[in-house]
A and B are shown apart, each in its own frame.
Chain A
Amino acid sequence: MSSFFDRLFGRTPPSAQTAKERLQLVLIHDRTDLSPAILETLKDEIIAVISRHVDIDREGVEINLTQSQRENRLVANIPLLDAPSGGRKRRK
């Protein structure tokens, strides 16, 4: 347990908060059986498949696990590049 003065000056967060954050992290992986390494492989393969059909901004691709209630979701954010010519530009 941290001392009263540590608490007072905000040096250590309350241990319950640390416990909650650690649990939330470990449970995402427990629930899905997806390790960070598998996520990385997944990302590479998704980039390869999608870029066969459309130009994407490879650097901007993000793949994350999120959870709301007891549902886990794999969320992919894949920015598209504008078509070189002939494509209809998005209006602003």
Chain B
Amino acid sequence: MPGKVVTLTSGKGGVGKTTATANIAVALAAAGAKVVCLDGDIGLRNLDVVMGLENRIVYDLVDVVEGRARLKQAMIRDKRLPDLSLIPAAQTRDKAAVSPSDMIKVCNDLRPDFDWILIDSPAGIERGFRNAIAPADKVLIVTNPEVSAVRDADRVIGLIEAEEKGPGYLVLNRVKIELVKRGDMLSTEDVLDILAIPLLGVIPEDEGILVSTNRGAPAAMDDKNRAGQAFRNIARRLRGEDVPFMPLEDNKNLLQKLAERFIKAG
């Protein structure tokens, strides 16, 4: 079966598209699928550092599109997970160096050899975004429970529906359960009410993400990391499994929970 192209996009920057792309890719590859990531953020590439592959770049996507390198030459294979590869973006060019039809062609060339082709879209709704969604079979909308991020997500959902790439699947990132509980952060239900698209996953805020990004080893590689677990669940849902949404509770022990109850009741 030819590979599926999944694009992660958001409108707003800084909501965690690149982190989500790296982690979902790692989780899919760890489960035995053949995965290639494509960094769509030409001029501001980052997927390479988040995945920890920045030192091995020789050729990039623009070299492939402009015929200086073959696809296989630009592909960096992750030594930790042999089924995972990255095609990095060019750092010294801009979005106009690639067209939507170039992206469709590159992805069609990748489909026979991979199960999943994940594209990390740049922020914004201009050329880079158009490039990233052109070849997509499925679009994941990454957002945070915050007014500006949700508003931009809504705009992007409208655009992908207009391109007949809809409905878009929601990945709600950086949820702080304590804030939700006290009524100071939009809940998953609130965001779903507003955006009205299917939910693919909810990622709790987790310091481990910063640490794993510092090291260039995505959190999904770590069995104990909660955000990593949430990304692994997303990967399973993409593969068609019916995975229940995990509770976002903190890892507090029973005694702490009882103590909290007691304080509240008092």
Contacts of B126 in A (CB 8 A): none
Across the interface, do A16 and B186 meet the contact criterion of CB distance under 8 Å? yes
Across the interface, do B180 and A23 meet the contact criterion of CB distance under 8 Å? no
How many chain A residues touch B (Cβ–Cβ < 8 Å)? 17
Across the interface, do B196 and A16 meet the contact criterion of CB distance under 8 Å? no
Interface residue B54 (Cβ < 8 Å from any Cβ of A): no
Across the interface, do B187 and A16 meet the contact criterion of CB distance under 8 Å? yes
Interface residue A27 (Cβ < 8 Å from any Cβ of B): yes
Across the interface, do A20 and B196 meet the contact criterion of CB distance under 8 Å? no
Q: Which residue of B lies closest to A70 (CB)?
A: B196
Q: Which residue of B lies closest to A24 (CB)?
A: B194
Across the interface, do A16 and B147 meet the contact criterion of CB distance under 8 Å? no
Contacts of A69 in B (CB 8 A): 196
Across the interface, do A23 and B150 meet the contact criterion of CB distance under 8 Å? yes
Bound: A24/B186 CA distance, A: 12
Interface residue A79 (Cβ < 8 Å from any Cβ of B): no
Interface residue B155 (Cβ < 8 Å from any Cβ of A): yes
Across the interface, do B147 and A19 meet the contact criterion of CB distance under 8 Å? yes
- Among B146, B180, B183, B186, chain A packs the most CB atoms within 10 A around the CB of B183
A1-B184, A31-B158 given; A16·B151 CB < 8 A: no
State which size class the interface on B falls in. 20 to 34
Across the interface, do A20 and B154 meet the contact criterion of CB distance under 8 Å? no
Contacts of A16 in B (CB 8 A): 179-180, 183-187, 190
Across the interface, do A70 and B157 meet the contact criterion of CB distance under 8 Å? yes
Across the interface, do A23 and B147 meet the contact criterion of CB distance under 8 Å? yes
Bound: A52/B235 CA distance, A: 60
Across the interface, do B183 and A17 meet the contact criterion of CB distance under 8 Å? yes
Bound: A27/B33 CA distance, A: 39
Q: Which residue of A lies closest to B158 (CB)?
A: A31
Bound: A17/B150 CA distance, A: 14
Interface residue B57 (Cβ < 8 Å from any Cβ of A): no
Interface residue B113 (Cβ < 8 Å from any Cβ of A): no
Residue from B161, B180, B182, B190 in contact with A20 in the complex, judged by beta carbons closer than 8 Å: B190
A23-B147, A30-B151, A30-B154 given; A15·B196 CB < 8 A: no
Q: Which residue of B lies closest to A71 (CB)?
A: B196
Interface residue A22 (Cβ < 8 Å from any Cβ of B): yes
Contacts of B184 in A (CB 8 A): 1, 14-16
Interface residue B98 (Cβ < 8 Å from any Cβ of A): no
* A1-41 interface code vs B (CB 8 A; 1 in, 0 out): 10000010000001111011011101100110000000000
Interface residue B193 (Cβ < 8 Å from any Cβ of A): yes
Q: Which residue of B lies closest to A31 (CB)?
A: B158
Bound: A15/B184 CA distance, A: 5
Question: What are 6 of the A-B contact pairs (CB < 8 Å)?
Answer: A23-B147, A23-B150, A23-B194, A30-B151, A69-B196, A70-B157
Nearest 3 CB-CB pairs, A to B?
A14-B183, A69-B196, A70-B196
Known: A22-B147, A23-B150, A24-B194; 4 extra A-B contacts, CB below 8 A, are A14-B183, A19-B146, A23-B194, A27-B194
Residues of chain A at the chain B interface (Cβ within 8 Å): 1, 7, 14-17, 19-20, 22-24, 26-27, 30-31, 69-70
